[in-house]
């Protein structure tokens, strides 16, 4: 296993970005569930809830490229 050293400011920026993404995902979940209550299947809502719970619990998803992000969201 390799060890990576980051400046404290860069590490704090990463943490802030992660927190912003968690908040954005929770907000998106609320907006989608409110706007499309009849159009979104319950299974899709459950998947989004699982992702949000995982992120809140510290579990993350890593992406190397933009196409991996698109593929992840399409698979939902």
Residues 33, 43: Cα–Cα separation, whole Å:
12
Q: What is the pLDDT of residues 14-54, one digit of tens each?
A: 999 999 988 888 888 888 777 776 776 778 778 777 777 77
For 11-62, the three-class secondary structure string (H helix, E strand, C coil) is HHHHHHHHHHHHHHHHHHHHHHHHHCCCCCCHHHHHHHHHHHHHHHCCCCCC
pTM of the model: 0.44
Residues 8, 54: Cα–Cα separation, whole Å:
26
pLDDT at residue number 40: 66
**Largest Cα–Cα distance in the chain?**
49
């Amino acid at each position: 296993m390799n060890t990576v050293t980051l400046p404290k400011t860069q590490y704090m920026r990463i943490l802030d970005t992660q927190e912003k993404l968690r908040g954005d995902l929770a907000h998106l979940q609320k907006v989608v569930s409110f706007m499309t209550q009849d159009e979104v299947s319950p299974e899709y809502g459950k998947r989004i809830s699982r992702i949000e719970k995982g992120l809140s619990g510290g579990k993350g998803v890593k992406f190397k490229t933009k196409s991996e992000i698109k593929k992840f969201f399409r698979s939902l």
